[in-house]
Amino acid sequence: MSLQIVSVIGNATKDADVKTSKDGVSYVTFRLAVGGGDGATTFYNVLVFGKYGEVMQEHITRGRQIFVTGKVQISEKGYISVVADHLELLARPRPKEKKEEKPAAGKTEAKSS
């Protein structure tokens, strides 16, 4: 008997994409960046199949912290993928502060009477 399970917590590097396989099965893909204690970052391609993936897709946005468990797959090119069995949405990214727009230097606004 063998068992292969991976659990990682990281941040999505971009919004999730919905794709369809040649067999007509829908799945969601996204990349997860996981920082290590030594300052190195490992990137995982995450695949979520079926309706579960479609539902989660709208919540997986760039910067979102996500907990993923699943099976590891390594491609011939050495890319590490996780076929997810379970996802938990954790911290949302902080909203970016909008800077106040200032009039360009040398230009004045015309006042209407």
Mean pLDDT value of segment 43-64: 91
pLDDT score of 53: 86
For the chain, give the DSSP string: -----EEEEEEESS--EEEE-TTS-EEEEEEEEEE-TTS-EEEEEEEEEHHHHHHHHTT--TT-EEEEEEEEEE-TT--EEEEEEEEEE-PPPPPPPPPPP-PPTT--PPPP-
Q: What residue segments make up the domains of the chain, in order of their start? A: 6-89
* Entry pTM: 0.75
Q: Using one digit for the tens of pLDDT, what is the confidence trace for 73-97?
A: 888 888 889 999 999 999 887 777 7
pLDDT score of 112: 53
Report the CATH architecture of 6-89.
Beta Barrel (2.40)
